[in-house]
Amino acid sequence: MLPDITTRADVELLVNTFYGKVREDELIGPLFSEVAQVNWDLHLPKMYDFWENILFGTGGYRGRPMPPHFRLTQQHPLRPHHFDRWLVLFYETVDQLFEGEKAAEVKVRALNIASMMEFRVEQLNNMNEAAQ
């Protein structure tokens, strides 16, 4: 039986393991490493705050999730199959490490945010294509 997500350390383990998979993924890894050239020392702590806030309402994350994804899709179109892969890796990570109420909740929250993000990014992609 696996533990549920209950502490900041659990969130850090989830985020670190997830982005470890992302970085090795041949489809979406290069979007982070080559296109966006992410500074992981800054990105990972931001993502700890983001998910901790979503799960436990800690208020640590004060950023805006959308702008980096709008910027990224201007450099390299971010498409539904990228979001699908992101979700597969996220679910796989959660299921590998945790089970319980919060583990189930974090997957639903990820799906909801990813769907909204995919929709908004796709609108921008379509506008860009129409303008060409």
- Closest CB to ligand HEM among 1 and 48? 48
Residue 114: is it exposed, middle or buried by C-beta count within 10 angstroms (0-12/13-18/19+)? Answer: middle
Please name which of 118, 84, 90 lies closest in space to residue 106, comparing C-alpha atoms. 90
Q: Which is nearer to ligand HEM, 11 or 28 (CB)?
A: 28
Shortest distance, CB of residue 15 to ligand HEM, whole angstroms?
10
Nearer to ligand HEM, 83 or 98 (CB): 83
Task: Please give the residue whose beta carbon sits closest to ligand HEM in the complex.
Answer: 63
Least Cβ distance, residue 51 to ligand HEM (angstroms): 8
Q: Which of these, 10, 33, 6, lies nearest to 20 by C-alpha position?
A: 33
Amino acid at 119: F
Shortest reach from residue 1's CB to ligand HEM, in Å: 27
Residue 50 CA neighbour count, 13 Å, CB half = 16
Chain residues binding ligand HEM by CB under 6 A are: 28, 31-32, 36, 38, 42-43, 46, 50, 63-65, 68-69, 72, 78, 82-83, 86, 110, 113-114, 117
Taking the C-alpha atoms of residue 8 and residue 30, their distance in angstroms, rounded to an integer, is 28
State the minimum distance, in angstroms, from the CB of residue 12 to ligand HEM.
Answer: 15
Nearer to ligand HEM, 4 or 80 (CB): 80
Strand locations in the chain (E)? none
